[in-house]
Amino acid sequence: MALASGVRFAERALLRPWALLRGTTLGRTEPAAGGGGDGARRFGSQRVLVEPDAASGVAVMKLRNPPVNALSLELLTELVISLEKLENDKTFRGVILTSDCPRVFCAGLDLTEICGRNPAHCAEYWKAMQELWLRTYLSSLVLVAAINGACPAGGCIIALSCDCRVLADNPKYRIGLNETLLGIIAPFWLKDTYVNTIGHRASEQALQLGSLFPPAEALQVGLVDQVVPEDQVQSTALSEMARWLAVPDHARQLTKNMMRKATADRLLRQRDADTQNFVSFVCRDSIQKSLQAYLEKLRQRKG
C-alpha cells in the first residue's frame, strides 16, 4: 500500500491542524507544582501537557491519553498544535517528547478511528497522521524522544521522527513497526524513515515480520540511540538535548533539512494519493473484519 526547497518550513503545504478540532479547549495554562514563574507555567490541552522551561529553552511535551496513548484524531491534532505553538515561540529551541501514562509511551493508531468508519472519516484521520509526521520530522526544533514505555507502531512513528531516542531498559518496553501482524502495511514514507534509520536489509526483515525490538536489540540495530535505567530516561534525554543545542541553530536546521527533505518531499508530492490508497485499503471488507476481530480480542482481555 502506498499508504519547496531550503529550510522554509512554513511554506510546506500542511493541513491546518485546528480544522480537525472538535470541541477541544487549547492554550489553557496551569501552574507547575511548586510555582516558579512564567518559566514553570504549563499549557496544553486535554490529551497533551506541555511543561516549558523558558530559561533553558526546552519544553517537555507529555502524551496523556490513557490508558495507552492511542493516537486518536484529537490527540494527533493536539500534538501538532502544541508543537506549532512552541515552534512559533522563539524562546524554545528543543522539545522532549514523553508519556504521562505508566508503562506506555504510545500504543499506536487508534483502531476505532478506522474500524467501522466511513471513508471520509478514515481520510481525515490519515491526513492527521501525515500531518503529525511532517510536523515532527521537519521541525526546526530539536526533538528528543524519552521513551518511558512500550512503543509499537504509531508510537514508533513519533519516535522515528525525533532527532534522538532514549529508551528505558525494561524488556517489556518494545519498539518497532508491527503493522503486518494486524494485516496492515506501513506507508511508503514510514518505510523510507525506517530505512534511513536502520538500513535497508534490517528494515526489509523487520517490516515484513512486524518485529518489536526489546531495548538491547533496538540499540544494536540503531532504532534508538541510548538505553538507560528507567529512572534515568528523563535526565539522559536532557543531557542529549544539551548536546544537540550546543550546535548553532541555523547550521543544525540547515543540515537537518538537507538530510530529511527528500523523504518528506516524497510524501508532500503524493499526499492525496497516499490518503486515497490508505482509505481504499482499510475500507476493504477483509481488513475491516480483521480489525474488528482484533478489537474484540482486546475487549475480551480487558474483560
Longest dimension (CA), the chain: 55
Which of the residues 78, 131, 179, 240 is marked catalytic? 179
C-alpha cell at 300: 475480551
For the chain, give percent helix, strand, coil, nearest 5: 50, 15, 30
Which of the residues 154, 176, 238, 267 is marked catalytic? 154
Question: Residue 109: which of 152, 66, 70 has the closest Cα?
Answer: 70
- Phi, psi of 256, deg, nearest 5: -60, -45
The answer to whether 240 is a known catalytic residue is no
CA distances in angstroms from 41 to 36, 141, 222, listed in the order given: 8, 20, 36
The answer to whether 109 is a known catalytic residue is yes
Backbone angle region of 10, left / alpha / beta, with phi > 0 → left and psi within -120 to 50 → alpha: alpha
> Would you give the DSSP letter of residue 75?
H
Which of the residues 3, 83, 109, 212 is marked catalytic? 109
Question: Residue 95: which of 253, 237, 228, 246 has the closest Cα?
Answer: 237
The answer to whether 179 is a known catalytic residue is yes
Which of the residues 74, 178, 207, 223 is marked catalytic? 178
Backbone angle region of 23, left / alpha / beta, with phi > 0 → left and psi within -120 to 50 → alpha: left
Element (H, E) at 231: none
CA 42 – CA 59 distance, rounded (Å): 9
**Residues involved in catalysis:** 109, 154, 178-179
